[in-house]
Amino acid sequence: MDLFKRISSGCSTSGATSCHNTTAQSDLCCFESPGGLLLQTQFWDTNPSTGPSDSWTIHGLWPDNCDGTYEENCDSSRDYSDIAGLLEDQGASDTLSYMQQYWVDIDGENEQFWEHEWSTHGTCYSTLETSCLPSGSAKGAEAVAFFQTVVKLFKTLPTYTWLADAGITPSSSKTYTLSTLTSALKSASGVTPALSCSSGSLDAISWYFNLKGSLIDGTFVPIDAPESGSCPSSGIKYPLKSGSGGGGGTSTTTSGGSSPTSGGLPSKAHLTASTSSGSSTGGLLSAGTWSTQTLATYTLSGSASSFTMSTSKGKCAVSSGKLTCGSSVSSASSFSAVSSGGKLLLAYSGSTAWTADGSPSGSTQETVYTGSSHSNDFTLVIASA
């Protein structure tokens, strides 16, 4: 379990609540200031989908100032990298396992996402200053405590379940009023959150808190959202995550994903790796690397006989036998799709053979090469996203 290594702040939780003090507080290790208005933000990602089909996912825990303004990137000297390694090294592998399922990036870049949330928001907590930690704490212990706290808090906020208990579930056809959604959540939680929408579809939620004591082990006091989110008052869609069933989509592909381009090629796809034994082991991230983390969404343009690919990072190309996607790629390579055993395989120069020096696990990423000249050979299956 994580808890045996969890650090203690030594702070009382019976003192003033953040943003509600009547006198100036001198011990900011035990009183969160100026960022005493905390938002636990969650995503409902559907295009592409992230996380389980029956759960929202973690975005972060943000320390807004009491007046709604905020600070970011407060201490670049503590912009830690390899968050996964930090958690494992300090006995928080349970927290890491949970994050790999529920705190996931829409482009599959989990590590960069966690690093961003820590450096942008985590470094701004007064109660997580290194001077507030017990003497002898390992380097990065305050970041480990941050991720543990966010996970612990998120587990108390089952947005999907609370909506489902009120008969509100994702659908391709139903719409809801804002008051129906917020009433269901207030009935379950006791407070009103802020709901955010994109093009009329629910995609994020913010749960607000004040804090008594330290972020490490203090008490979160739920409060009503001080401002409303971006959803309209009615006609709100709660879309299905792809693969979550329920049907009713307008897609013409058999896998319920995006509409195909000409020749049966999906316009949006995940590229999953299939080894010679037939087992599926992860797939490609947005830079073109092979990983077992959440897969990136590739945009395919053209027909099955000749198409180009791009990701959130940029165009994709093969150069000197190596696959790369990113801003450094000036000219996209042409790929093709080959049907094999009911699957659509990615091919370059007519060959569906891809290879790497190793097989990825955890947060490792392997460079992908064409052909079969390295130790691990595989094919890349084009799966509609």
Residues in the chain with pLDDT values less than 70: 1-5, 243-263, 277-278
d(CA 349, CA 208): 54
pLDDT at residue 263 in the model: 45
- Is 59 annotated as catalytic? yes
pLDDT at residue 264 in the model: 76
Do residues 282 and 295 touch, judged by C-beta distance below 8 A? Answer: yes
d(CA 341, CA 103): 34
- Of 117, 142, 270, 366, which residue is the catalytic one? 117
Q: Look-up: residue for tokens 């829409």?
A: 106
Six token digits for residue 191: 């407070």
pLDDT at residue 105 in the model: 95
Which residues does 144 contact at the CB level (< 8 Å), separation at least 6?
Answer: 7, 86, 87, 90, 92, 95
Query: Residue 326, class by beta-carbon neighbours within 10 Å (0-12 exposed, 13-18 middle, 19+ buried)?
Result: middle
d(CA 198, CA 232): 10
The per-residue b/e assignment along 64-95, b for 16 or more CB within 10 angstroms, e otherwise, is bebeeeeeeebeeebebeebbebbbebbbeeb
pLDDT digits over 194-220, tens only? 999 999 999 999 999 999 999 999 999
d(CA 58, CA 101): 10
Nearest to 182 by CA among 170, 200, 168: 168
pLDDT at residue 5 in the model: 56
d(CA 61, CA 178): 24
How many C-beta atoms surround the C-beta of residue 5 within 10 A? 13
Amino acid (one-letter) located at 318: V
- Of 32, 111, 115, 121, which residue is the catalytic one? 121
Query: Residue 351, class by beta-carbon neighbours within 10 Å (0-12 exposed, 13-18 middle, 19+ buried)?
Result: middle
pLDDT at residue 255 in the model: 30
- Is 374 annotated as catalytic? no
pLDDT at residue 246 in the model: 34
Q: Look-up: residue for tokens 């470094």?
A: 123
149 phi and psi angles, rounded to 5 deg: -65, -45
Name residue 376's beta-bridge partners. 356
Q: What is the DSSP-derived secondary structure letter of residue 34?
A: S
Whole-prediction pTM: 0.65
Do residues 227 and 194 touch, judged by C-beta distance below 8 A? Answer: yes
Name residue 308's beta-bridge partners. 301
Q: What is the DSSP-derived secondary structure letter of residue 262?
A: G
pLDDT at residue 376 in the model: 84
d(CA 185, CA 168): 10
pLDDT at residue 257 in the model: 34
The answer, yes or no, to whether the previous bond of 48 is cis (omega within 30 of 0) is yes
Show the DSSP H helices in 155-278 as ranges.
Answer: 159-165, 178-189
pLDDT at residue 351 in the model: 87
pLDDT digits over 339-355, tens only? 877 788 898 988 899 89
